[in-house]
Amino acid sequence: MQPNHLKEGIEVTLTVWGRPEAVNVQKVLWCAEELGLDYTRIDVGGHFGGLDTPDFLAMNPWGRIPVIRHNDFTLWESNACLRYLCRTFKQGPFANLS
């Protein structure tokens, strides 16, 4: 996995698992874009499959998308992902969140 960067140059590794047509995945991708984060998207779910693999189930035992990994931290459930990203990368429209 290659490191990605914030547009301001801070190194961060963010990976998003999910298919782009899934609304809950779109929420996470939109948030990452608003925060100016570079990320890697891995297509899983729907016609891509992969939700029942041991590697995916190790990240999310429910076998659902989206899943994010930021450095060594893995999280699932779209709203939890949004809160995490906004609180971790306080910038742009989310700069004043507490």
Query: What is the pLDDT at residue 1?
Result: 35
> Count of CB atoms within 10 A of residue 89's CB?
21
Q: What is residue 66's predicted lDDT score, i.e. its pLDDT? A: 98
Q: For the domain bounded by 13-94, which CATH number is listed?
A: 3.40.30.10
Task: Domain ranges for the chain, please list them.
Answer: 13-94
For the entire predicted model, the pTM comes to 0.82
Query: How many Å apart are CA 6 and CA 53, to the nearest integer?
Result: 31
Which residues of the chain, if any, have pLDDT below 50? Answer: 1-7
Element (H, E) at 28: helix 23-34
Task: Count CB neighbours of 86 within 10 A.
Answer: 18
Q: What is the pLDDT of residue 92?
A: 65
Report residue 59: phi and psi, to 5°: -85, -40
Q: Residue 74 forms beta bridges with which residues?
A: 69
Look at the block and give the residue holding tokens 């189930």: 57
Report the DSSP beta bridge partners of residue 30: none
Quote the CA–CA distance of 48 and 56 in Å, as a whole number: 13
Distance in angstroms (rounded) separating the CA atoms of residues 18 and 77: 11
